[in-house]
Amino acid sequence: MGFKLISLFLLLSLLILTILSGASQAFASDKKPNVSHRNKPVLAAAAGGGGGGKSVLKGRKQTSGCNLFQGRWVFDASYPFYDSSTCPFIDGEFDCLKFGRPDKQFLKYSWQPDSCTIPRFDGAAFLRKWRGKRVMFVGDSLSLNMWESLGCMIHSSVSEAKTTFLKRTPLSSLTFQENNVTLYLYRTPYLVDISKESVGRVLNLGAIDDGADAWKDMDILVFNSWHWWTHNGVQSQGWDFIRDGSSLLRDMDRLDAFNKGLTTWAQWVDQNVNVSQTRVFFQGISPTHYVGREWNEPSKTCNGQMQPLSGSTYPGGSLPAASIVSRVLSSMKNPVYLLDITTLSQLRKDAHPSTYGGNGGTDCSHWCLPGLPDTWNQLLYAALSM
């Protein structure tokens, strides 16, 4: 009898230990951290010291696992970065509020990439990181748009800082004296040369000689071209003939001409830029909004538009010039980072000066300041931090 009681007791003890062991494992499993795959990494802010750690940027749109240029526009009450009335660097053609634009909702959108959160621009941090450095924007009036935007964004962070502002043709500059940071603008809409010959003004698709020495020895170069390649008429386009190799032409397919001119630029960068000292960017193709059928409003232009398109794709599709840029950059020996602003800018049919550019026309090519170019610069700021 006593032996049976002892055996029964041992069996009950083993059963209890088994139950307790299982409960303990289940409890431990319940305590595992709840990791959400929806959490987005925050990219390192560009305030980090020094310009080292330069990653390979050959035509890349993705860095640190994040595609900065795939995302959507979201309402953000903290925008804009600055007040146009307090920035002394804005041209009238971009100062939409000064010329009577009545709505301000277009100022209240921030770009949100799908896979990460980009750091908010910090002008003081930018000046500290790039102390003693030189930044140059090279291109057309869209480069002017971006150059003035960056100047205003920095100025809003250090509004009492002493500056030297020189507006000239083709080279303008803005220097923040305490940190000795200079932002340059070099105006050359085609990047390649327009030369005076006996027949008139000749756009030479195979030459970059005029002024290119000014682009050398910069710490950051941001190139841009396309806007003028679509101009027609000798007054608007700024040339009378095109030189393509040994051929002198009245005109030619503009995409073909752009491809050849951009290839000449790429060869110049490969031969003349020391990428161990200079970060090189291409601004990407800035779109226009003159043709409403591209976003399913056939009778409309940018005039009167008050909000971005929703989603992350543009109904009108991609731009052929953007494909040329990607192809040329991918063929280069030197790494060039593509600021692929095209799609995110296509979504901003609301962000143009339209009739509020002070020139009496309808401008659906350039962008209000504050406005979209501030986002371009925030993406430049994020890319520089990677």
Catalytic (active site) residue 64: no
Which position among 95, 110, 140, 141 bears the catalytic label? 141
Selection from 327, 373, 344 nearest residue 148 by Cα: 373
- Residue 75, H or E segment: strand 71-75
Range list of β-strands (E), 198-292: 200-204, 220-223, 241-244, 247-249, 279-282
> Is 149 one of the annotated active-site residues of the chain?
no
Instruction: State yes or no: cis peptide before 170, omega within 30 of 0.
Output: yes
Annotated catalytic residue, options 95, 340, 363, 374 = 363
Instruction: Considering the candidates 155, 227, 289, 366, report the single residue annotated as catalytic.
Output: 366
Torsion of CA 123, 78, 341, 187, to 10 degrees: -50
350 catalytic residue (yes or no): no
The beta-strand segments (E) located in 188-273 are 193-197, 200-204, 220-223, 241-244, 247-249
* Residue 135 near residue 151 (C-beta atoms within 8 A): no
Helix (H) or strand (E) holding 172: strand 171-176
| CA Rg value for the chain | 27
Nearest-angstrom CA–CA distance, 92 and 361: 13
Q: How far is CA 154 from the centre of its chain?
A: 16
Q: Residue 346 carries which DSSP code?
A: H
User: Other C-beta atoms within 10 Å of 271: how many?
Assistant: 10
How far is the C-alpha of 218 from the C-alpha of 278, rounded, in Å?
6
Cβ atoms of 119 and 43 closer than 8 Å: yes
Burial class (CB in 10 A: 0-12, 13-18, 19+), 287: buried
Residues involved in catalysis: 141, 363, 366
